[in-house]
Chains A and B, each alone.
Chain A
Amino acid sequence: MFSIQTFLDSFEPLLWAARYTLLVSGLGIALGLVIGALICAAGLSRWPAARRFAAIWVSFLRGVPLLVQLLLMYYLLPVIGINVPAIAAAVITVGICASAYISEIWRGAIGALPRGQAEAAVAIGMGPRDVWGRIILPQAVVMSLPALVNELILLVKASSLVSVVGILEVTRASQAQAAMTFRPLEVYIAAACIYLAINLCLAGLGRYLEHRMAV
């Protein structure tokens, strides 16, 4: 039978571990935004080599499961002489993986801007710096916000995978809790509730942003 008491009791350790879920997904999206901007710039640059690199970067990271990327990074870093804690390897991998999706989001947003805007800016004598800094980027970034919130939701869910490299986030903590109480059903449903709560909040934020933009 489903035991309400066990279910409620599992929230304390799991909520404590939720810090790491938020940390991994939060730092992951921050890193993804930075690398994603660079990759997006490379993809739009006039050098074919840079465009090629960006295309391969995006295709590889979107084609390989995150779990494989995580294990690859986890084993690869020490071999090439970089010794970082598992949490750093996890954040870097999540960030790099997110960068591929984020660069595509930004490319889409920039592509969706009417061409006339950039042309008008050039026509009134703006240089490329002003065209990008004052016309294209501010609009593209605002336009991409709902999609970025969506990406963050995906990252919160993806962060459950970093449990396999031993980071004590919600999923890992629930495994430990389930082993301790012998009540996996209640514990894992509690874990699911925590993820659901985080993601519903984020989805609400996304809807709010979308609504504001539509006005």
Chain B
Amino acid sequence: MDVSVLQQYAPMLLRGFGITIFCWLFGTVLGIVLGLIIALIQRYSPKPVRWLLQVYIEVIRGTPFLVQLFVLYYGGPLIGLRLDALPAGLLGLTIYGSPYFAEIFRSAFRAVPEGQIEAARAIGMTEATIIQRILLPLGLVSALPALVNFSIILTKETVILSIITVPELMYQVQRMSTETFRYVEANLVLALFFWALVEAISRVGRKLETRITKHLIERT
């Protein structure tokens, strides 16, 4: 590809890259928070509530992200939910990620030995303290690999936001390629870029994992 073309489009691409990273971080962090809340409510609430949340989880996991975005962005205004592309994308990403994160937390909480929780109850800890000092620290460590794994999947989902015109990297690259007719080069560079990004994130994730789970490995 012509270097001057890249130079001309550099600011646009950089802005797109910034928005991609922003969407990813925002969606991951809020998705994790929402997922954690869902998992905790599911653990401590009566059956009907648990059942309702399970329906939410199944519906979101059973439908494509693109269709969810369409419902939110194009269907939202019909029920008074008028959002710009970027906020709609961020909300969509958060909602999309939450059930996967909730399931990760649910199985991580189940992996916390029941004896530890019973022991905490026996020495008079309140439920809130148990969550804070037993359930969360132990659960988070065992959830970490799956959390890292799913956040990597979310990086790749951000490109779908371009379809509802969120001006992230994919959107900018498509704009550039229709203006310069360099479809193959533009998409190839984009592919290589994502490959590098995902590899880099998984490497950081693995480092983080070995650091946090070091105490488990040393003991065994």
Contacts and interface: CB of A to CB of B under 8 A. Distances in A.
Interface of A: 2, 59-60, 62-69, 71-72, 75-76, 79, 153, 157-161, 163-164, 170-171, 174-175, 178, 183-186, 188-189, 191-192, 195-196, 199-200, 203
Given A161-B66, A171-B64, A200 B159 contact: no
B110 interface: no
Contacts of A185: 71, 74-76, 78-79
Interface stretch (B120-128, B133-141, B192-200, B205-213): B192-200
Contacts of A192: 59, 63, 67-68, 71
Interface of B: 58-59, 61-68, 70-71, 74-76, 78-79, 156-160, 162-163, 170, 174, 183-184, 187-188, 190-191, 194-199
Contact of A184 (B70, B194, B195, B199): B70
A72 B66 contact: no
Contacts, number: 120
A184 B88 CA distance: 15
Given A157-B65, A160-B67, A192-B71, A75 B183 contact: yes
Contact of B62 (A75, A175, A195): A195
Contacts of B184: 72, 75-76, 79
Most A CB contacts (10 A, CB to CB) among B157, B159, B170 go to: B159
Contacts of A174: 67, 70
A189 B71 contact: yes
Nearest to A156: B64
B159 A59 contact: no
Contacts of A63: 156, 194-199
B67 A184 contact: no
Contact of B75 (A160, A171, A184): A184
Given A160-B67, A188-B70, A200 B62 contact: yes
Nearest to B188: A72
Contacts of A199: 61-63
Contacts of A175: 70
B187 to A, nearest CB: 4
Contacts of A161: 64, 66, 160
Given A75-B184, A185-B76, A189-B75, 11 more contacts: A2-B78, A75-B187, A160-B66, A163-B66, A171-B66, A175-B70, A184-B75, A188-B75, A196-B58, A199-B61, A199-B63
A179 to B, nearest CB: 10
A159 B63 CA distance: 11
A178 B74 contact: yes
B159 to A, nearest CB: 4
Nearest to A21: B64
B117 to A, nearest CB: 27
User: Which 9 A/B pairs are nearest by Cβ-Cβ distance?
Assistant: A185-B75, A160-B64, A184-B74, A63-B198, A75-B183, A65-B156, A63-B195, A199-B62, A157-B64
A66 B187 contact: no
A60 B195 contact: yes
Contacts of B61: 199
B72 to A, nearest CB: 9
B67 A191 contact: yes
Contacts of A195: 62-64, 67
A92 B60 CA distance: 27
Contacts of A196: 58-59, 62-63
Q: Which of A66, A72, A175 has the most CB of B within 10 A?
A: A72
Contacts of A68: 159, 170, 187, 190-191, 194
